[in-house]
Amino acid sequence: MSQTYRTKVNNIYDFDLQQESIEALDSIQESANNYHILSKNKSYKAEIIQRNFNAKQYQIKINGTLYQIAIEDYLDVLIKDLGFEIGASKQVNDIKAPMPGLILDIAVKVGQEVHEDDTLLILEAMKMENVITSPRSGVIKSVSVNQGDAVDKNQLLIEFD
């Protein structure tokens, strides 16, 4: 099966490149960041100016013209199509009890600003203390329980603005 790469140039032009066509490219590496490329009987000088390997983004100069290039492979495309983009902000607007239990402590109040992974409350379930942390940064809109309350699974505990 051929690997396909979706490529966006200058945030305007989209190209799908096949692994075979990339491997068949007639190119010679002249130095660490410089390449000589032959394509359809034309000669090109390519230089990698900047690279962000993890983000798969590159700035390349070809025959003196600068291009911004972003590359996505099959997995990147699949993740985006499923709505699970890497680095996307979390849009959790409420916290529900993950299991039935007893509220031992509430660490936040209405109007308080919290950051991702801050402690919100402690839920005792099956003789264990479970620390419920914030999934995102935000402001507490409401706290629907009190210390000492017994809660059911999926019961609303906290809402974010």
What's the pLDDT at 85?
59
- Model pLDDT for residues 138-147, shown as the tens digit of each residue: 999 999 999 9
Report the percent of the chain where pLDDT is more than 90: 61
What's the pLDDT at 46?
95
The candidate with the shortest Cα–Cα distance to 113, out of 88, 90, 145, 136, is 136
- Model pLDDT for residues 4-30, shown as the tens digit of each residue: 888 999 988 888 888 888 888 899 999
- Model pLDDT for residues 97-153, shown as the tens digit of each residue: 999 999 999 999 999 999 988 999 999 998 899 999 998 889 999 999 999 999 999
What's the pLDDT at 73?
85
Name the DSSP letter for residue 135: S
Backbone angles phi, psi at 77, to 5 degrees: -65, -45
For residue 158, list its beta bridge partners: 95, 143
Residue 90's pLDDT band, with cuts at 50, 70 and 90, is low
Stated pTM of the model: 0.48
